[in-house]
Structures are given as C-alpha cells and as structure tokens.
Chain A
C-alpha cells in the first residue's frame, strides 16, 4: 500500500515549520531569528519521523539543532549586541524580494502540483537488493540497518569524500578565523562607513 501519514501530525508540523521559518526571516532581533531556526529544525525532524526516516530525524536533532544552530547562535552572540533591535539595518528591500519569492513559489508549486509522481507501494522497495556482505536487510521501510549498508556498499566513495570535506572545512575554518598577529585589528565600536 502507498504510505499514508497521519494528517493531523502533518498539518501541525507544517504549521510549525512555516511559522518558525517566517520568524527566522522576519524577526527583528537576530537572536530570536536564531531561536526560531532551532524550532524550524525540530519541526523538520518531526516531519522526518513522520516519513519514517528515523535515523535522519535523530541526525537532524543531533547535528542540525544540536551543533549547527548552536554554533550560529554562538556567532550571533560573538558579533552582535544580542538584544539589539537593529530594525533598520537588518532587512533591506523587502517588497522586491517578496515579489520575487512569490513568483518563485508560484513556479515551484505549479511545477510540483501539476506533475504526477510515480509513487509506489512499500513492497517494491528494492526487494532484490542485498548488500555484498551477504546480510539480509529485513525491513522494507528505510531502516537504520539498510541505510548503513547503503552508505557502505554503493556510496563508499561519496562517504569517504564527505569525511575529507569535513576535515578540510575544519582546517579551513581554523585558518580563516585565527587571529593574525601581523595585521592590526579594527578598533572597538561600530565603525560607520562614510556615505
């Protein structure tokens, strides 16, 4: 049978995603935008759970809401007077951007909703596929076990490349953010650029 998620859960999570995302892009205090981003990430994790991607829901909470969002909040607190309602300087050209984004939304929605996607019942989830090591992957829904085998059997090279990428970005971030003693730093206090 075609997968049929709970409508009440879907609409609740969808409302939370849309509301929090709106707060991310419209909040007047940057710190509130960061907190709203955490809410959005949790709601998206709930949607992953609704789609029975349990591993991805856990990764979303751990990596996104737990690490990336907290790092961004740290960056906000390091660079910004946290509760400063920086109204004027936080957004620019809202109406032009809103019109552009509404046009983009119309195009995307028109494209997706007018298409007929080839959905399939659960029993067709790669029934013949077995990993090379010979273990049988029992469940039809995307289980953690099946995902692990998938990562190591056909996706070995991307998996290793991602670890190299993370190492490179770690070193790069250290190099970029390190204080360079040869260069003078800008003085404290906000420097206004002459018009």
Chain B
C-alpha cells in the first residue's frame, strides 16, 4: 500500500463534495438539502486541513474553524426558515414552494 499523501485527501474531498452536490440537486425536501450542504462544507474543510498539514501552514486550520462557525450560523437560519415554511405550507418540498413564481 503506497503512502498516503495530500492527493488522497484532496480526492476524498472531491468525492464528498460531489456527493453533496448530488444531494442538493436531487433532494426535494428542504432539510435533506441542508444535510447535503453540510456534506459540502465538510469536503471544503477536509481540503483546508489537508493543505494545512502538508504545506505545512497553520492558516488552513484557522480558516476551517471559521468555516465551521459560519456553517453553524447557516444551519441555524436554515432550520428557522424550514420551520417557518412548514408552518405556512404544511410541507417543506422545495419544488412546491412556488407562491412567488411569476
């Protein structure tokens, strides 16, 4: 088995990011879309930490901490929006929330 290098982590990050993109594109349920978004955040973070370790430079880890904080804020607002939509529509299927469609 060959040694694990930076490229292995980057490839895993790419796979994770594409799985997240797939989820965002295919899921109808708003919460499922939020779950897939978290996958994409994690892919980016994985790349940042891998670069930080192999370059090596601490700034990547600092940036990953900021990404986690912003992801927490995003998830908070996202869940609040989902609950608000659910209260008004009684479902959270994104392709049926089209009241403002022209």
Known interface pairs A44-B46, A177-B80; A124-B39 also in contact (CB < 8 Å): no
Contact with B along A1-21 (1 / 0, CB 8 A): 011111110110010011001
Chain B residues lying within 8 Å of A166, measured Cβ to Cβ, are: 69, 72-73
Residues from chain B with a CB closer than 8 A to the CB of A78 are: 83, 86
A169 within 8 A of B: yes
| Docked complex Cα distance between A174 and B77 (Å) | 9
Residues 92-148 of A at the B interface (beta carbon under 8 Å): 92-94, 96-98, 100-102, 104-105, 108-109, 112-113, 117-120, 122, 124-126, 140-142, 146-147
- Chain B residues with a Cβ under 8 A of chain A: 1-12, 14-23, 25-29, 31-32, 34-36, 38-39, 42, 45-46, 49-59, 61-62, 64-66, 68-77, 79-84, 86-93, 95-96
- 5 A-B pairs with least C-beta separation: A25-B23, A169-B73, A173-B80, A97-B25, A108-B14
25 A-B residue pairs with Cβ-Cβ distance under 8 Å, sorted by A, are A6-B4, A14-B12, A21-B15, A22-B19, A24-B35, A37-B38, A47-B12, A56-B49, A75-B83, A76-B31, A80-B29, A89-B29, A90-B27, A102-B18, A104-B18, A105-B18, A108-B17, A113-B11, A147-B62, A147-B65, A158-B66, A162-B70, A166-B69, A166-B73, A173-B79
